[in-house]
Amino acid sequence: MVGKVCGTGSYVPAHVMSNDDLARIVDTNDEWIRERTGIGRRHIIDGETTSYMAGQAAKKALEQSGIDPEEIDIILLATSSSETVYPCAACEVQKMIGAKHAAGYDLNAACTGFVMAFNAAQAYISAGFCRTVLVIGAESMSNMVDWTDRGTCILFGDGAGAVILRAAEGAPVHMAAHSDGKKGVALTGLSRHRKDWEKEPEDGSVKESFIHMDGQAVFKFAVRKVPEIIEEVLEESGTGLDEIDYFVLHQANRRIIEAVARRLKTDIGKFPMNLEEYANTSAATVPILLDEMNRGGMLKKGQKIMTAGFGAGLTWAASLFEW
């Protein structure tokens, strides 16, 4: 048995912050941000929480799938920015959607979190441990970033995406996942709530609590490791590169995605992107993009989709599945 996607959903806050809005907070400009990242805007929470956004995305996925929430066996929620450590956001979602038979837990692999959770769900299903899994990526990155650091605050946005997997006969799902803790220092973060940082004195100590990133190191890591892991999964599955219909990659930076396409010598048209609108929503980028593709009519039964995520840890993972 494999987990077939039978519903997708997403939620992004209505509140939008443009590059010009950011230029009023830090020394930056629209041209620099677009040229270096491809990002034009980001949606930022305005009263929403991570679990609220996750619950909204889950409701939409459920509605599309036609599945009764009580049929869900497990909720896997990938996040690194939930406002609460416990109860975990997955349990909050369980409550919101009435999935009373489901077990739920959160999983943190930063921006790689959704692909890691998707792979875990596939393993649960193929082992016969469960039939119906709700996989979510949800983030309030605006609570994590240092809004005085132009090197990072321009990159991130908030949102959630959800996918429902149902056990079915079908082509096997192929996957790979890796971590390199020795390089973890390239991207670190401790969560704090917005109401806290607004009160902090500007003595520099605040920054210890937010995201720290060596942008170029992360960029180089992504451009090297993403093509490698895609090739690893292709080789393991005996699939040719040209058989893949879409490469649904973590939406961190347009230049990273273009570089991966070049390295794989593959048409950039097979790499859908939406980071111009949402920026990097960490674990939520892949499911938000999948939902947009699904609802936009881009996805047809039998198409081969390669997802890949990368981020803090350092972590990276990929999954090849049929729609």
Q: Decide if residue 151 touches ligand UT7 (CB under 6 A).
A: yes
Nearer residue to ligand UT7 within complex by CB, 73 or 146 = 146
Residue 282 structure tokens? 């960490």
Q: How many Å apart are CA 182 and CA 129, to the nearest integer?
A: 33
SS3 content of the chain, % helix, strand, coil (to 5): 40, 25, 35
Nearer residue to ligand UT7 within complex by CB, 104 or 309 = 309
Shortest Cβ 32–ligand UT7 spacing (Å): 4
125 phi/psi in degrees, rounded to 5: -70, -45
Q: Which of 119, 143, 253, 280 is catalytic?
A: 280
- Non-local (6+) Cβ contacts of 12 within 8 A are 43, 53, 157, 158, 159, 160, 278, 281, 288
**Would you give the binding string for ligand UT7 spanning residues 291-310, x where CB under 6 A is met?**
--------------------
Q: Decide if residue 260 touches ligand UT7 (CB under 6 A).
A: no
Q: Decide if residue 112 touches ligand UT7 (CB under 6 A).
A: no
Is 250 known to be catalytic?
yes
Residues between 36 and 55 with contacts to ligand UT7, criterion CB under 6 A: 36-37
Nearer residue to ligand UT7 within complex by CB, 154 or 226 = 154
What phi-psi label fits residue 300: left (phi over 0), alpha (psi between -120 and 50 degrees) or beta? beta
Shortest Cβ 239–ligand UT7 spacing (Å): 26
Q: Which of 111, 119, 174, 253 is catalytic?
A: 111
Residue 42, strand partner residues = 17
| Total chain residues near ligand UT7 (CB under 6 A) | 18
Q: Which of 43, 91, 174, 250 is catalytic?
A: 250
Q: Name the residue among 291, 296, 271 with its Cα closest to residue 281.
A: 291
What phi-psi label fits residue 92: left (phi over 0), alpha (psi between -120 and 50 degrees) or beta? alpha
Residues between 168 and 227 with contacts to ligand UT7, criterion CB under 6 A: 213, 215-216, 218-219
Q: Name the residue among 14, 77, 89 with its Cα closest to residue 49.
A: 89
Is 274 known to be catalytic?
no
Residues between 92 and 111 with contacts to ligand UT7, criterion CB under 6 A: 111
Q: Catalogue the active-site residues.
A: 111, 250, 280
Residues lying near ligand UT7 in the complex (CB under 6 A) are found at: 28, 32-33, 36-37, 111, 150-151, 154, 213, 215-216, 218-219, 252-253, 280, 311
